[in-house]
Amino acid sequence: MTDRLSGVRTPWTDIVNAQLDPALRARCLELLAEKYYEPIRSFIVAAMGVNRPEAADDLTQAFFLRFIESDCLDVLDRERGRLRNWFKTSVRRFVLDEMKKGNRGNAASPFCKLERLPGGDIAPPDRAGPTPEEEFNRRWARELFADAVTAFRRYCRDNGKQRCFQVFERHVLAGGKAAAPSYGETAAELGMSVKDVSNCLGRTKKKFQALLRELVRATVAGDGDVDAELRDLLRHFR
C-alpha cells in the first residue's frame, strides 16, 4: 500500500506492512503505542481522576501491554472504519474490565466507583467534567494537528520555503487573529512586501489543509470518511 503523503509515515502503512511481514510486527506495535499514547492516557486519566503522573503512566502502559499481547494487528482492517474509533473502543473495554475487577471486590481498583452512561460512555469521577471519550477525542485532534504542523515544517524546509512557514507560524499558529501581527508588521520583520505576505499566507493555508487531510485520510476507511472525520475532530479541537 502506498500513501499519497510523500515522506510521511502513516499508521495504516505500518499496520498493513506488519500484517504482510511478521518480522515487522514488534516494531509496528511499538510505533502505534508511541503515536497513540497521549489519547489513551487522557482517556484513562479522565475516567479515573488520576492525579499522579506515575499512576497514569503505569495504567497506560498496562493498556498497551494488553494491546501488544493480544495480537490486535490481526483484527485491524482499514475497511472496517476509523482507527480513532477502534482505539477508543479498545481503551473503553480496558477500563470496563477494570471496573468489573472492582465490582468483584477489588477495592484497590481505581475503577470500582465508575459508572456507565447511556450510550456506552463512561462517567468521569467528576460528572461535571468532560467524559473520557471527549478527552480522548480532544487529545487525538491535538496530536493530529501537531503531526500536520511537523509535516508542513518539513515540506517548507525541503522546498526552500522557510519564510513562508514563518508567515504561517505568525498568522495561523500564533493563537488566533488577536495574537497575530498585522501583515505590515510581518512584512517588515521578514523583509517582504505586504502583498507577498498575503499571497504566501493564502498558499501556505491551502498546503497545510492538504497535508492535514492526507493525515486524516491515513486513519479512515476511505476518501468518503475524510470530511466527516475532519469535522468531528475540529469540533473537539481547542
Output 104 or 198, whichever has higher pLDDT. Answer: 198
Which triple of cell numbers denotes residue 163?
Answer: 519564510
Return d(Cα 33, Cα 69) in angstroms, integer. 12
Instruction: Count Cβ atoms below 10 Å from residue 131 Cβ, excluding itself.
Output: 18
| Burial zone of 181 (CB within 10 Å; 0-12 exposed, 13-18 middle, 19+ buried) | middle
Q: Where is pLDDT greater, at 133 or 175?
A: 133
Q: Which grid coordinates belong to 217?
A: 485520510
Any idea which of 19-23, 100-104, 151-155, 223-227 has the lowest mean pLDDT?
100-104
Task: Please count the CA atoms within 13 angstroms of the CA of 20 that sit on its side-chain side.
Answer: 7
Spatial distance between the Cα atoms of 131 and 119, rounded to a whole number of angstroms: 12
Cell reading at 46: 479522565
Question: Rounded distance, CA 97 to CA 106, Å?
Answer: 12
Give the residue carrying C-alpha cell 503505542.
Answer: 33
pLDDT value at position 51? Answer: 67
Which residue's entry shows cell 499519497? 4
* Whole-number Å distance between alpha carbons of 199 and 127: 47
Which band of pLDDT confidence, cut at 50, 70 and 90, is reported for residue 8?
very low
Q: What are phi and psi of 221, to 5 degrees?
A: -70, -35
Is residue 215 within 8 Å of residue 5, measured between CB atoms? Answer: yes
Average pLDDT over residues 60-70: 80
Residue 156 has pLDDT above 90, yes or no: yes
Half-sphere exposure of 35 (CA within 13 A, CB side): 21
Residue 195: its pLDDT value, please? 95
Q: Which helix (H) or strand (E) holds 90?
A: helix 83-103
- Give domain limits for the chain: 11-137, 141-236
**Going along the chain, which residue ranges are E strands?**
115-116, 122-123
Better-scored residue on pLDDT, 131 or 101: 131
**pLDDT number for residue 99:** 67
Q: Enter the pTM of the model.
A: 0.74
